[in-house]
Each structure stands twice: as structure tokens, then as C-alpha cells.
């Protein structure tokens, strides 16, 4: 039983038809609103959707809204003329009677079969979203469409699509819709929706559907919560990547051949770990691996510019390189950082080693013993860690602003990423440096509460550092 603190959800979902001219992005809108890239079929051919198809939005297990994707209206002017012939002026039929007569006519099953499907659904729903391709001018056919749809007596919310296209005519459409007494309008680019786009859409819909305003506000609250949780989880995935890479240390004999082999192992481990994070982020935001079609990933050094361990890549990203990254073939790793970040000084460690007090030093003593026996440790340079953070943060930003109808390959913009160009790592990663047992990439991984708390703290820091003017958190 619901408590007084829980939102009251409707016994039956609010029903909303998505209507409009052919090829305006109706299916694309539903893919983005439902975060479902598999819904319906999207391509550039007119009349792709031929039947009415429904999809629900849930809060928990309760359906809150059911959207209906409808076929495109192809001949609004011909339909209006036909209805005028069916319904002579002297009969003085009201709008609903005119629609009913049309739906009973022979042509509703022939020439105007598509339009009849749309109008039948309009009579059944609570409201409609009228999707507009703002790259097109507002023509007589659009005015006839709106007039015929309005005859069904349901509230209509115009949705301006493709508003970020360089040839958009948003102002022209707003003026034309105002002349038709349509003042509740929302801009929602289905390819690159604004972060608050859903909020705006449901807010406008609530204005038209006062009886359902409480349900729509509950849905808005739920969407905001989900968006925040997605963002937190995304930065947690990034924090885990950075901890794994920063803590990674590989011991190697101190000779050139062994060092070269070990550094190649280290690079491969880091590249593969980045791919794992990338795939996890795609899955988390419900995108597909195919969204990177025509691009290889950083394993081959061709995706996102150049290879992760290339000094030129670091330079082009505006990241100051350390001495390890500047060493040409040795780019991206640092040798013999065995005492970096340790609480005990090297003198104390050496004294303990000579005295045989290994039990008290535990893993640090074992590492130093390896050093004294001629082994070195290889670890990832700070500059590479910062580049990893910048690339994955840029990916998170791109995914947050990508509609599920987008078909162009995902692109990222490192220049928009804040906070990774300073040479100093965050304190959390500095601590991680001295705890190789925290890396799942190493042979001696040890899960710990301290590691998990550090990951959560780093994730929060990463997320907060990317809050910029105009972004929604």
C-alpha cells in the first residue's frame, strides 16, 4: 500500500499519440524519450512507419505514459478537400461529426488509409505531440494537417525537431503556430536533445492536460532522478578505470629487452581497460557498439586521433607530458617509481630490508626486495592518466547529449573537458599510486573498503569538476 510520501500514479497510463507529416522524426522522438534505440524503424525514406505502434514509460513497474507512433500524414490538402465534399456546409456538422463521417467512408480504407489510422488513434488518446521538421518551411499542407488533427478535439503540443541544424526555421515555425493559436510549443532536437529537453516537454504537456499535471510532475521528478543516477554511475565507471590504471605496477628485470616487453604488456592492459570502460559507458547509456562504426578504437591507435601512449596525442590534447611520456619510444610509462607516494621514506625501507624486517613492511618490503635484486617497476605516467580521464569524460558528455535516434558516429571534444590539463593528479589518485593491490589489472588485486570509498570520492570529484554554465546536474 502506498504511503502518504509516495507519488500517486494513475490507474491507467496517460495516452499520447505522436503525429505529423511524413519523415519529420516521430519515431526518432520516441526512441529518445524512451531511451530505446531499437524502437520502430528510422531512415530517410518517407512513410517508414506504416502502422500504429505503442511503447510505455514506466515508474517502477507502473506504466505512466503510453506513446503511439503513427504513420505520417501524406496528403493533408487532399484529405481536407475530400472531407469538405463529404460534409456539405449546409449540414452544419461539428468537427467530430465530420471526422466520424470520413472514417465511415470508402476512401478511409483506400486513398486515405494512412490518414484514417492517424485520426482513429487521435480520437482514442488524451493528447498528441505534433512533430515538426524545422528545416522545412511552414506550408499550407502543415496548416491543413493541424486543422484536421485539431478537429479530433484533443490537445496538441507542437514539437520542433532538428532545431540545431544550420538550416532550421524555428522562428518561422513559432510565428506560424502562434497565428494558429498554438502557444504551448517545445523545442526538442531528437538527435541532440538539450539536457532539460524532457523536462520542458512534459511541463508544456502538463499545461495542456491539467487533469494529468500531477502525474506528469511525478514523471519529471523520476526522469531527473534517473538522469542524476546515470551521471553518478558513469563517473563511478570512470573512477574505477583511473584507479585501476594509476595503481598498476609491473615488475621487470632491469635489462632493455625485458623492459620493452613489460612496457608493451602494460600498454595493452591499459588500452584494453579503456575499451572495457568505453563499452560499459555505451551500455550504461543504452547505446550500441555500432555507434562507433567506421572507426577503430584506441587499441589500434586510430580512434580519437592517435594512440593513447603517443606523445603527440598528449601534446594535441593540451596535456603537459612528464619525463616518461617525453622519452620517445618509452612514451606513457615511468620506470622505478617504487617509493612514489609511500608513507615510509626510501632510507627507512632500505634499512628495514637490510635488517630483514620484511614482515612489518609487508608488500612494500617485498617490492623493495625485488628492486634490490635487480628488478624495476613500470607504471603509467601521470600524463596518460590525465588523457584517459579527459577522453572518457568527453565521452560521457557526448552520451549525455546524444539522442537515441542519432545515426552519425559518436564524436568527442576533449577541449570542453575541464580539470585535466594540470600536471598534478587529484589526491585520491596520488594515494592510489602507492597501493598496487588496488588495481584489478595486477596479479595481487585485493578488494578493500578503502579502495571503494576512494572510488566513490573520486567519482564525485570528477562529476563536480565538469559542471559548467548551462549544464544540468
Q: Domain count of the chain?
A: 2
The angle formed by the CA atoms of residues 79, 209 and 71, to the nearest 5 degrees, is: 30
pLDDT tens track for 194-229: 888 899 999 999 999 999 999 999 999 999 999 999
Report phi then psi at 18, rounded to 5: -110, 115
Does residue 453 sit in the same domain as residue 332?
Answer: yes
Give the pLDDT score at 467: 55
Q: Tell me whether residue 424 is in a domain.
A: yes
Q: Tell me whether residue 214 is in a domain.
A: no
Does residue 175 sit in the same domain as residue 47?
Answer: yes
Report phi then psi at 63, rounded to 5: -65, 130
Q: Tell me whether residue 121 is in a domain.
A: yes
Widest Cα–Cα separation across the chain: 112
Give the pLDDT score at 128: 96
Look at residue 172 and give its three-state secondary structure: helix
Look at residue 58 and give its three-state secondary structure: strand
Among candidates 132, 126, 123, 14, which has minimal Cα distance to 73?
132
> Rounded to an integer, what distance in angstroms lies between the CA atom of residue 188 and that of residue 332?
43
Q: What is the pTM of this model?
A: 0.78
Sign of the dihedral defined by the CA atoms of residues 412, 416, 420, 421, in that order: positive
Does residue 23 sit in the same domain as residue 158?
Answer: yes
Does residue 158 sit in the same domain as residue 306?
Answer: no
Q: Which three cell numbers stand for residue 40?
A: 520502430
Does residue 239 sit in the same domain as residue 379?
Answer: yes
Q: Tell me whether residue 222 is in a domain.
A: no
Give the pLDDT score at 334: 53
Does residue 441 sit in the same domain as residue 333?
Answer: yes
Q: Tell me whether residue 215 is in a domain.
A: no
Q: Kindly list the strands in the beta sheet with 333-335, ordered across the sheet, starting from the edge strand earlier in the chain.
A: 249-253, 375-380, 333-335
Mean pLDDT by 10 residues, the chain (473 residues): 56 92 88 82 46 84 91 91 92 92 94 93 95 95 94 95 93 95 92 86 94 92 92 96 93 82 87 91 88 48 44 58 41 44 34 36 48 68 85 90 82 70 78 91 92 95 66 34
Does residue 138 sit in the same domain as residue 237?
Answer: no
Look at residue 306 and give its three-state secondary structure: coil
Asked if 128 and 208 touch (Cβ cutoff 8 Å), the reply is no
Does residue 235 sit in the same domain as residue 153?
Answer: no
Provide the CATH number for the domain around residue 98.
Answer: 3.40.50.300
Q: Which three cell numbers stand for residue 271?
A: 588500452
> Rounded to an integer, what distance in angstroms lies between the CA atom of residue 381 and that of residue 102?
73
Count of beta carbons in the 10 Å neighbourhood of residue 49: 21
pLDDT tens track for 282-335: 999 998 877 765 343 443 333 333 455 655 555 655 565 554 433 333 345 555
Does residue 268 sit in the same domain as residue 138?
Answer: no
Q: Tell me whether residue 223 is in a domain.
A: no
Q: Which three cell numbers stand for residue 314?
A: 598528449
The domain boundary, picked from 146, 177, 208, lies at 208
Does residue 243 sit in the same domain as residue 203?
Answer: no
DSSP state of 21: B
Exposure pattern of 404-440 as b/e (b: 16+ CB <10 Å)? bbbeeebebebeebeebeeeebbebbebbbbbbbbbe
Q: Tell me whether residue 300 is in a domain.
A: yes
Structural domain for 26, as ranges: 14-208
Does residue 149 sit in the same domain as residue 185?
Answer: yes
> Rounded to an integer, what distance in angstroms lies between the CA atom of residue 404 and that of residue 29?
8
Q: Tell me whether residue 7 is in a domain.
A: no
Does residue 378 sit in the same domain as residue 447?
Answer: yes
SS3 for 271-294 is HHHHHHHHHHHHHHCCCCHHHHCC
Q: Which residue has the cell 634490490?
A: 372
Rg (CA), the chain: 30
> Rounded to an integer, what distance in angstroms lies between the CA atom of residue 436 and that of residue 363?
9
Rounded-to-10 torsion of CA 199, 202, 203, 205: 160
Amino acid at each position: 500500500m502506498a504511503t502518504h510520501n509516495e507519488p500517486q500514479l494513475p490507474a491507467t497510463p496517460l495516452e499520447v499519440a505522436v503525429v505529423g507529416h511524413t519523415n519529420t522524426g516521430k519515431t526518432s522522438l520516441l526512441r529518445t524519450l524512451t531511451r530505446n534505440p531499437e524502437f520502430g524503424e528510422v531512415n530517410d525514406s518517407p512513410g517508414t512507419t506504416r502502422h500504429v505502434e505503442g511503447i510505455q514509460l514506466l515508474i517502477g513497474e507502473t506504466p505512466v505514459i503510453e506513446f503511439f507512433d503513427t504513420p505520417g500524414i501524406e496528403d493533408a490538402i487532399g484529405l481536407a478537400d475530400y472531407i469538405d465534399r463529404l460534409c456539405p456546409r449546409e449540414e452544419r456538422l461539428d468537427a467530430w461529426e465530420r471526422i466520424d463521417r470520413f472514417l465511415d467512408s470508402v476512401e478511409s480504407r483506400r486513398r486515405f488509409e494512412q490518414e484514417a489510422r492517424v485520426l482513429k488513434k487521435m480520437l482514442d488518446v488524451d493528447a498528441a505531440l505534433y512533430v515538426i521538421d524545422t528545416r522545412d518551411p511552414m506550408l499550407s499542407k502543415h496548416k491543413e494537417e493541424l486543422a484536421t488533427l485539431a478537429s479530433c478535439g484533443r490537445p496538441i503540443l507542437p514539437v520542433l525537431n532538428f532545431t540545431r541544424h544550420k538550416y532550421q526555421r524555428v522562428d518561422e515555425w513559432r510565428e506560424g503556430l502562434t497565428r494558429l493559436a498554438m502557444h504551448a510549443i517545445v523545442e526538442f532536437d531528437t538527435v541532440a536533445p538539450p539536457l532539460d529537453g524532457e523536462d520542458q516537454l512534459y511541463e508544456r504537456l502538463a499545461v495542456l492536460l491539467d487533469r494529468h499535471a500531477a502525474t506528469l510532475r511525478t514523471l519529471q521528478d523520476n526522469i531527473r532522478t534517473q538522469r542524476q543516477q546515470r551521471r553518478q554511475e558513469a563517473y563511478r565507471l570512470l573512477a574505477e578505470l583511473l584507479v585501476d590504471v594509476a595503481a598498476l605496477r609491473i615488475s621487470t628485470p632491469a635489462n632493455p629487452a625485458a623492459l620493452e616487453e613489460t612496457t608493451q604488456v602494460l600498454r595493452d592492459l591499459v588500452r584494453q581497460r579503456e575499451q572495457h570502460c568505453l563499452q560499459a559507458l555505451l551500455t550504461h547509456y543504452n547505446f550500441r557498439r555500432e555507434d562507433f562504426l567506421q572507426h577503430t578504437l584506441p587499441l589500434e591507435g586510430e580512434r580519437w586521433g592517435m594512440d593513447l601512449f603517443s606523445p603527440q596525442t598528449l601534446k594535441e590534447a593540451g596535456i603537459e607530458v612528464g619525463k616518461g611520456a617525453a622519452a620517445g619510444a618509452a612514451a606513457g610509462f615511468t620506470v622505478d617509481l617504487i617509493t612514489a607516494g609511500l608513507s615510509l621514506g626510501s632510507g627507512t625501507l632500505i634499512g628495514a630490508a637490510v635488517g630483514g624486517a620484511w614482515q612489518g613492511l609487508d608488500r612494500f618490503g617485498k617490492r623493495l626486495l625485488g628492486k634490490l635484486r635487480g628488478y624495476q617497476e613500470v607504471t603509467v605516467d601521470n600524463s596518460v592518466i590525465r588523457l584517459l580521464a579527459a577522453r572518457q569524460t568527453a565521452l560521457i558528455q557526448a552520451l549525455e547529449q546524444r539522442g537515441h535516434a542519432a545515426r552519425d558516429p559518436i564524436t568527442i571534444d576533449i577541449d570542453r573537458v575541464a580539470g585535466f590539463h594540470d600536471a598534478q593528479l587529484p589526491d585520491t589518485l596520488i594515494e592510489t599510486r602507492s597501493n598496487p593491490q588496488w588495481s584489478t589489472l595486477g596479479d595481487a588485486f585485493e578488494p578493500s573498503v578503502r579502495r571503494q570509498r576512494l572510488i566513490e570520492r573520486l567519482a564525485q570529484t570528477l562529476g563536480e569538476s565538469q559542471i559548467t554554465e548551462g549544464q544540468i546536474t
